[in-house]
Amino acid sequence: MVDIEKTEKAIRDLLVAIGEDPDRPGLAETPKRCAKMYAELLAGMDSDAQEHLSKQFDVPHSEFLLEKDIPFYSLCEHHLLPFFGKAHIAYLPNDRVVGLSKLARTVEARRLQLQEQMTTQIADDIMRHLDARGVMVVIEAEHLCMTMRGVKKPGAKTITTCVRGAFEEQAELRATVLSLIRQ
């Protein structure tokens, strides 16, 4: 949970450290606005995927399900800059499925993290909480730390994958999911 008062003070101190006057008209409310923004952007720090994935339905379905193009926004823990993109999740149910909106909620990424960490965490949560026979998570994102600073390459995308269970063992299954994602 973000401490609003401490965050406001830290933003004010940052403005002073970079040579700004935090009391000038354009910046007077900035510490408060930034504190509220961080509270919103980091609201998922204490969330647990189990709260989303616990509502399941008995469905004897043996083929994989794919939910693709799930938009997300997160903050890179290295530079505190946003990264954003799309997540794609395929899983093989074990006679139980979860509501599709629950997969999208599992992707919500309101915390400081790395894309690689996020990809693995989603896959592991689905395996653990759904007792899935397999899962494949593909995340494609643009990182503002590469767009705005450093190498300055806008539009460059980072793609991470994580496969578990049957998707790890069956190359044809992975290829099918990747071809559906590209459609």
Distance CA 145, CA 115 (A): 13
Q: Which pairing describes strands 134-143 and 82-92: parallel, antiparallel, or unpaired?
A: antiparallel
pTM, rounded to two decimals: 0.92
Helix (H) or strand (E) segment spanning residue 73: strand 65-76
Distance CA 111, CA 134 (A): 26
Q: Is 67 a catalytic residue?
A: no
Catalytic residue chosen out of the listed positions 29, 51, 77, 116: 77
Per-residue confidence in pLDDT tens, the chain, 183 aa: 889 999 999 999 999 999 999 999 999 999 999 999 999 999 887 788 888 888 888 988 789 999 999 999 999 999 999 999 999 999 999 988 998 899 999 998 788 999 999 999 999 999 999 999 999 999 999 999 999 999 999 999 999 999 999 999 999 999 999 999 999
> Which of 103, 63, 68 has the alpha carbon at shortest distance from 87?
68
* Beta bridge mates, 65: 91
Q: Is 162 a catalytic residue?
A: no
Catalytic residue chosen out of the listed positions 76, 113, 129, 162: 76
Q: What is the DSSP letter of 176?
A: H
